[in-house]
């Protein structure tokens, strides 16, 4: 990974993302810092797939559901890849999405838990992402955050067989235990 090693920490740009290898890792840039996430485990991918299928089944025609890797670039110095996202079809660019998302979902793993709960929460909040879901597959727990003004408020925390009846970004029923089967 020679090129990456030549850059000083804090000096990564969005242009640098184009030069990184397609090696199964997820690369994100936040204000000059390169975030590298290893390939996810089967439990993580099961949750991502089940959640995407549930969302896709209820998604209105003017919206689009994506799974990572899809770049969300809310500012000229930030590129992040939510595990699952929902946006307006008209906001999908050729390579990236730059307009605020309607929903960003991060599925926790041992290597991403802290970043997802703190850093990504702040980034999505600042970017005006209407709803942010954090799913912990190990504990079958879904935390739902929604913007109130410019700050996230916790709307729900559901576990196991409890159902969450979402209204944002559209009506959909999510049962945490069903996401890890």
Domains and CATH numbers, the chain: 40-180 (3.90.1570.10)
pLDDT given for residue 133 in this prediction: 98
- CA-CA distance, 156 to 61, in Å (whole number)? 27
Looking at residue 4, its pLDDT comes to 41
Element (H, E) at 172: strand 172-174
Global pTM reads: 0.86
Each residue's pLDDT tens digit, 148-160: 999 999 999 999 9
What lies within 8 Å, CB to CB, of 15 at 6+ separation is none
pLDDT at 33: 85
Bond before 169 cis per omega within 30 degrees: yes
- Tell me the pLDDT tens digit for each residue of 35-68: 888 888 899 999 999 999 999 999 999 999 999 9
Q: With a cut of 50, which residues of the chain have pLDDT below it?
A: 1-7
Task: Note the pLDDT of residue 9.
Answer: 60
Give one DSSP letter per residue of 31-88, joined into a string.
TTEEEEEPPPPHHHHHHHHHHHHHHHHH--TTEEEEESS-EEEEETTEEE--SEEEEE
Q: Which tokens hold the place of 175?
A: 């049962």
Residue carrying the six token digits 């999510």: 174
């Amino acid at each position: 990974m020679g090129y990456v090693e030549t850059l000083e920490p804090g000096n990564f740009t969005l242009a640098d993302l184009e030069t990184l290898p397609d090696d199964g890792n997820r690369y994100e840039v936040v204000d000059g810092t390169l975030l590298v996430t290893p390939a996810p485990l089967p439990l993580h991918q099961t949750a991502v797939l089940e959640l995407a299928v549930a969302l896709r089944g209820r998604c209105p025609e003017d919206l689009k559901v994506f799974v990572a890797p899809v770049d969300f670039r809310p500012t000229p110095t930030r590129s992040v890849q939510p595990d699952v996202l929902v946006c307006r079809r008209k906001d999908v660019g050729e390579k990236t999405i730059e307009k605020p998302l309607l929903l960003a979902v991060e599925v926790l793993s041992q290597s991403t838990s802290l970043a997802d709960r703190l850093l990504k929460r702040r980034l999505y909040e600042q970017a005006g992402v209407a709803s942010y879901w954090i799913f912990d597959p190990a504990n079958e727990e879904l935390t739902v955050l929604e913007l109130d003004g410019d700050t996230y408020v916790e709307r729900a925390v559901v576990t196991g067989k409890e159902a969450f009846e979402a209204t944002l970004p559209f009506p959909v029923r999510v049962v945490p235990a069903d996401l890890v089967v």
